[in-house]
Structure 1
Amino acid sequence: MQGTVKAIDIAVSDLGAAIEFYRRFGLEFVRDAYMPDDHAGCDLPNGLHLMLDTDDLRSKVTANWTPPAVGRTFLTFEYASPDEVDKTYAELVGAGVRGLQEPYDAPWGMRYATVADPSGNGVDLYASLPAS
């Protein structure tokens, strides 16, 4: 049986902090009217729906679930240029966001960097390198 990916759900420890963090990337989350302290969603331009669920909610809806010690989700944002990757990384780290990987020219032809959201989930920033 083949399904269709319609949504991505990220477990977070602090919903408010996560909403503020992802707002820096232009994502506007709407808190759920029935669970405003535990669930928020954001419609993406490509038709996907991105959700944030608190660890508390996740543990109620998934049997035996506990938050991982280290985040295993990496949400990835593409930028128009390598300079934008560098600038975004510097702005985030300057604002107190934890950097996981400083910008570098990856062997697969991209300028690449990684930061952590407030719950420790990875957020990759990349742009294609100019053809040489």
Structure 2
Amino acid sequence: MKFGAISLYVNDMETMVNFYKYVMGLNINWDGSGFTAVEMEGQIHHFILCKREIFENSIPEVSNWNKGINGNMEICFDVPKYSDVDIEFERVIKAGAKPVYKPTTESFGMRVCYVADPEGNLIEICSGNDDTNY
């Protein structure tokens, strides 16, 4: 097997498509339906947004959704340099992401921060490239 996709089941497709397209910078061509797949470069082939009610109708056993910040998983975006973590954190907060954890250089050497999308899914922005003296 090889890894194929990450899916988020969402309540408000338009809000979430706009967030991932305009705030996080993904190339999304959404047709207005309850589903969209974004082709990705690298190991992960697709990032998928699917309206929760569509998923619940196809698999009704799965309907216990997290409320607030979803700490069960995260989406991680790598940036080239430590300083880019701070720049991207400020940019996405100003664009509408919810701040969760400010940019910090961790004891294991990476610079990381966390924000949440409009429905509370965790997004990590990180870099392992120490380009400055934080």
TM-score interval for Structure 1 and Structure 2 normalised by the shorter chain: 0.7 to 0.9
SS of alignment partner, residue 3 of structure 2: coil
Alignment of 1:68-107 (within 5 A): 68-69=66-67, 70-71=69-70, 72-107=72-107
Structure 2 distance, partners of 1:85, 1:44, is: 21
1: CA distance between counterparts of 2:40 and 2:96? 26
Contact in 2 for aligned 1:103/1:111 (Cα 8 Å): yes
Counterpart of 1:44? 40
Asked if 1:16 corresponds to 2:14, the answer is yes
- The answer as to whether partners of 2:80 and 2:129 remain within 8 angstroms in 1 is no
Tell me what 1:5 maps to. Answer: 3
Q: Could you list the runs of 4 or more consecutive aligned residues of structure 1 that deviate by over 3 angstroms after TM superposition?
A: none
TM-score normalised over the length of structure 2? 0.84
CA RMSD of aligned residues (A): 1.9
May I ask how many residue pairs the two structures share in their alignment?
127
Q: What whole-Å deviation, never above 9, does each CA across 1:18-56 have from its counterpart, x for those lacking one?
A: 111112332122336xxx431111000125111001121
Q: 1-side partners of 2:130 and 2:30: how far apart? A: 40
Confirm or deny: 8 A CA contact 1:39 1:52 kept in the other structure.
Answer: yes
Q: Is the 8 A contact 1:14 1:118 kept in 2?
A: no
In the TM superposition, what are the counterparts of 1:114-129 in structure 2 within 5 Å? 114-129=114-129
**1:111 Cα deviation from its structure 2 partner:** 0.7
- 2:57 counterpart (54, 57, 60): 60
Cα distance in 1 between the residues matched to 2:41 and 2:93: 27
Distance 1:99 1:58 in 2: 28
Q: Find the aligned partners of 2:74 and 2:91 in 1 and give their Cα distance.
A: 19
TM-score for the superposition, normalised by structure 1: 0.85
Secondary structure at the counterpart of residue 73 of structure 1: strand
Unaligned runs of 5+ in 1: none
CA apart distance, 1:96: 3.0
Partner residue in 2 for 1:28: 27
Change (3 A) 1:78 1:100: same
